[in-house]
Structure 1
Amino acid sequence: MSPRDLSCEEVIERLFDYLDRELDHQQTAEIERHLSRCRDCFTRAEFEKRLRARVAASGTVKAPPQLYRRIGSLLDRFDDDEPDRSH
């Protein structure tokens, strides 16, 4: 079975699965073949790769304690507004 050529729309639709390495060998090869021929899709894929790397390198920021308290109180209020579903 010969590999098929993907459209740009198909590549963009599968791009995040490709970057997350969630595709099988054939799907990965189809996308890589398209990226080797399509400058626009290649540029988009490179942008997404670099963005992910930059986000990963930025580390994490711990939320301030008052934010935790506020979210907790909002969740408590939400729980109080829920009807009793034990019936």
Structure 2
Amino acid sequence: MHCVVEGQVQGVFFRAETQQQAEKLGLTGFAHNRDDGSVDILACGEEKMVARLCEWLKDGPVAAQVDMVSCQENELLVPKTFSTG
């Protein structure tokens, strides 16, 4: 699943906490800051666990202010680990 999260999501540990959540759920992928202030996320793994991460993204960490989460299916890239960049 490829998601873009908009709002106050940079400088609030959004990527690091997304990585923690993803690893707890056994997912691989990445969370990267985008130039426009949003965060780009790729989550790969068991569909049920990906869905749980997508639900978590709607709120994110306590310090974040999530305005919008848009997600699309992704079947092209399946990384071996979860990383932030």
TM-score, length basis structure 2: 0.23
Larger radius of gyration: 1
More strand by share: 2
Of structures 1 and 2, the one scoring higher in RCO (CA 8 A, sep 6+) is 2
More helix by share: 1
